[in-house]
Amino acid sequence: MPPFVIRGETFAFTADPFTGPAEVAYAYDSDGAVVIDGGRIIETGTAAAVLARHPGIRVDHYPSHLIMAGFVDCHIHYPQTRVIASYGKQLIEWLNTYTFPAELAFADPAHAAEVAEVFFAEVLRNGTTTVSSYCTVHPQSADAFFVGASKRNMRVAGGKVLMDRNAPPGLLDTPQSAYDDTKALIARWHGRGRNVYAVSPRFAPTSTPEQLEAAGAVWREHPGTLMQTHVSENAKEIAWVHELFPDAPDYFGVYERFGLAGPGANFGHAIHLSKRERAALQASGSGISHCPASNTFIGSGLFDLAGFTQNAVPAGLATDIGGGSSFSMFATMRTAYEIAQLRGHSLHPVQAYYLASLGSARVLRMEHQIGNLAPGYEADVIVLDPRSRPILAERVSVARSIEDVLFALIILGDDRAVKAVYVAGEKVG
């Protein structure tokens, strides 16, 4: 495909809005242009200047629409697509009632492929161009995930979950099979196209010490991969971990013991960490996936986002489907804002979009590839319509700034606001 331009109102990050004033951490152009060639952004600037340098170039023009990097969802469970919006359980009961029965069906490769197709269609429809997903214990579930992503040329991370206890027999592997399956899947998928493998012990209660040891070993052997798991989501879960690992200092200490902490480690939830755990997580260089909609829907608690971001812990935003109640990053940012309000902190709209894009990319060690509208980045781009609903159009008509527009989209936007999606420079929606 020859080079082309996407023209409209452009928004890009110039700094981390959590380390300085959010009001000066971005660049906005009311008539900007993005030049895309070979699946990458090669130039940005004012439309007048860019078009003068590229006469005759194809232009995809979106007047009065906002152009930015695609959303990055750093913690999601594609096998739970069909149990989204299931009623009335907290974490452990949720797993036993909805998650585990749904995941048993992924022993069938055809079923896994079918759900993966639905999942990726929904993700892209909501403007999310990268996900980090848990699969099921079945290797074929990871194959279906990576096949689905590869068909769309998406940059994704994922891996089969490791579980050798406290789950139905059809969802159990062993320390050895977990190690062997993970090694084989890494060889098959990691670095192929835009795929990244994530070693994925589900959480400490469903893995024996021997399996966590195997998980740490395989991650050390493949330092370019990621590691994802859950920590301190629910009070009952934390008490259960203390029973299962009585020699560990705390929940995060279990992962430290088995070499499952450090840069590239992605811990979901992290709501109820002790002072020691917070300090250890920060010192390790691990990242956190903030799952606000899931945390409220399942009743797990209110995450202390300000406490972590003020201490420069990499943090991203995640829907956590199917415990989360929406594939939409607008809904997820909205809930993150509301939780911050309840904790006495106002989440600035620029900070919210950062978490939903470049912040999540940083957790996944992809911050130099995706998550920003800047030269050298892969061309995963979304076009947003801030007038996609009558009430949104009314609100935007009196907006005082681009920050005001961004916030209105957070509160009132949904999938209807996603006008177009480009993945590696190809328009897919």
Say if residues 396 and 298 touch (Cβ distance below 8 Å).
no
Residue 429: pLDDT above 90? no
Say if residues 328 and 73 touch (Cβ distance below 8 Å).
no
pLDDT > 70: percent of the chain: 100
Q: Which one-letter amino acid corresponds to residue 199?
A: V
Instruction: Give tens-digit pLDDT for 210-250.
Output: 999 999 999 999 999 999 999 999 999 999 999 999 999 99
Question: What pLDDT does 89 receive?
Answer: 80
Question: What pLDDT does 363 receive?
Answer: 98
Distance CA 231, CA 260 (A): 12
Mean pLDDT calculated for residue range 413-418: 98
How many other C-beta atoms are found inside a 10 Å radius of the C-beta of residue 274? 15
Say if residues 352 and 338 touch (Cβ distance below 8 Å).
no
Say if residues 380 and 155 touch (Cβ distance below 8 Å).
yes
Distance CA 126, CA 270 (A): 26
Question: What pLDDT does 91 receive?
Answer: 85
Give the phi and the psi of residue 255 in degrees, each rounded to 5: -70, -40
Distance CA 254, CA 235 (A): 16
Distance CA 86, CA 350 (A): 32
Instruction: Give tens-digit pLDDT for 79-134.
Output: 999 999 999 788 888 888 999 999 999 999 999 999 999 999 999 999 999 999 99
What domains does the chain contain, in order, with CATH numbers?
Answer: 4-70+371-427 (2.30.40.10), 84-363 (3.20.20.140)
Distance CA 172, CA 84 (A): 23
Among 174, 281, 172, 169, residue whose Cα is nearest residue 232 = 281
Instruction: Give tens-digit pLDDT for 288-308.
Output: 999 999 999 999 999 999 999
pLDDT > 90: percent of the chain: 97
Query: CB-based burial of residue 254 (10 Å sphere; 0-12 exposed, 13-18 middle, 19+ buried)?
Result: buried
Partnered with residue 41 across adjacent β-strands are 36
Instruction: Give tens-digit pLDDT for 200-212.
Output: 999 999 999 999 9
Say if residues 10 and 29 touch (Cβ distance below 8 Å).
yes
Question: What pLDDT does 199 receive?
Answer: 98
Question: What pLDDT does 324 receive?
Answer: 92
Report the mean per-residue pLDDT for the chain.
Answer: 97
Chain centroid offset of residue 263 CA: 16
Instruction: Give tens-digit pLDDT for 22-67.
Output: 999 999 999 999 999 999 999 999 999 999 999 999 999 999 999 9
Question: What pLDDT does 90 receive?
Answer: 86
Residue 265: pLDDT above 90? yes
Cβ neighbors of 423 (< 8 A, separation 6 or more) are: 70, 124, 129, 152, 153, 154, 380
Instruction: Give tens-digit pLDDT for 164-202.
Output: 999 999 999 999 999 999 999 999 999 999 999 999 999
For tokens 């695609």, the residue is 70
Query: CB-based burial of residue 92 (10 Å sphere; 0-12 exposed, 13-18 middle, 19+ buried)?
Result: middle
Say if residues 263 and 224 touch (Cβ distance below 8 Å).
no
Say if residues 195 and 149 touch (Cβ distance below 8 Å).
yes
Question: What pLDDT does 94 receive?
Answer: 83
Distance CA 169, CA 143 (A): 21
Quickly state the pLDDT bin for 372 (edges 50, 70, 90): very high
Cβ neighbors of 422 (< 8 A, separation 6 or more) are: 6, 36, 70, 379, 380, 381, 382, 428
Among 272, 274, 276, 260, residue whose Cα is nearest residue 233 = 272
Distance CA 222, CA 214 (A): 13
